[in-house]
Amino acid sequence: MSQLVGYARTSTTDQKAGLEAQLRDLRAAGCTKIFHEELSALATKRPELDRMLDYVRERDTLIVTKPDRLARSTADLLAIAKGLETEGVTLRILSMNVNTATPTGKLMLTILGGIAAFERDLMLERQREGIAKAKSEGKYKGRAPTARAKAGEVKALKAEGLTGDAIAARLGIGRASVFRILRAD
């Protein structure tokens, strides 16, 4: 028996309204099982995505509201779609009215994935240009270096015998930052 399965994701736990909207749209599309998570697509592990991919079966349809909720990049989207196709699972993307059950849907997915990547590249280019302009006008200082400000605390905790991981956890900074500070000596 085929099933409509939904997947929703927001980048942060602060985006409750975005998650609620996705869940509402997936229910309206008829999803009887929905997987959702609140973490960046750039996260190395997306446990609910993995659970969903293990859950779907041949003749199921996976429904997402937008492609960026499912994939990190165009290549990632196409790889996930190919994996689903191999398993006999159809992919529907509501915002684009794409359904990979049809040849046209498969073509549209590839084309729209390319357009999405193009738009993202344009946005990043405009962002870089804006930052460069703000820097030249002395209006952009960048992000405050949070880890470097804690260098004294890092060194003191290391002197107390704490491990790099323990220091990072205690100070709320990245492990790599801890080791970068310690190597600087």
Q: What pLDDT, in 10s, does the model give residues 58-102?
A: 999 999 999 889 987 777 888 899 999 999 999 999 998 899 999
Determine the pLDDT at residue 4: 97
Phi-psi sector, 162: left (phi>0), alpha (psi -120 to 50), beta: beta
Which candidate in 2, 11, 40, 73 is catalytic? 11
**Residue 11 annotated among the catalytic residues of the structure:** yes
pLDDT, residue 42, reads: 67
Report how far residue 99's alpha carbon sits from residue 121's, in angstroms, rounded to the nearest whole number: 25
Residues of the chain with pLDDT under 70: 13-14, 41-43, 144, 185
Rounded-to-integer distance, Cα 185 and Cα 179, Å: 10
Q: Write down the pLDDT at residue 13.
A: 63
Q: What percent of the chain is modeled with pLDDT above 90?
A: 43
- Confidence (pLDDT) at 41: 59
| pLDDT on residue 30 | 97
In this prediction, residue 14 carries a pLDDT of 61
Question: ∠ CA 140-141-147 to the nearest 5 degrees?
Answer: 150
Which pLDDT value is given to residue 32? 95
pLDDT for the residue 17: 81
